[in-house]
Amino acid sequence: MVTSQFMHLPDGGMVDLTRRLAGAVAPGGTLLVVGHHPDDLATGLRHGRRNFMFTPEELVPALDPEAWEVEVVEVRNRTVAGPDGEQVLVSDSVLRARRRG
């Protein structure tokens, strides 16, 4: 398994990073990429700009469909504590794929 958790690169850099990470996955292995979804900007908890965040769909083109079976492309919501202890709903982008053997 090769994984990237909450790494954020600007200007589409995550697509290139996903492609490079995929190159390190052995046949039959799994690639998992998780990060902040752009909707999180509205929560006030995330700093930066939209171009640092990504949707899971934006990463799919990094994977050759003949070499990869994309298993999960989804947004997962979870609750975190805000700066004043209040509960805030945030969204994570999740891409999981298995390299064909």
> What CATH number corresponds to the domain at position 66?
3.30.110.20
77 within 8 A of 55, measured Cβ to Cβ: no
39 within 8 A of 56, measured Cβ to Cβ: no
Domain count for the chain = 1
pLDDT for 21-61, tens place per residue?
999 999 999 999 999 999 998 888 877 777 889 999 999 99
pLDDT of 19 higher than 80: yes
The length of the chain in residues reads 101
Residue 56 class from Cβ within 10 Å (0-12 exposed, 13-18 middle, 19+ buried)? buried
* pTM of the predicted model as reported, rounded to 2 decimal places: 0.92
Mean pLDDT for the chain? 94
Domain that holds residue 75: 2-99
For position 96, what pLDDT does the model report? 98
Give 18's Cβ-side CA count (13 Å radius).
Answer: 29
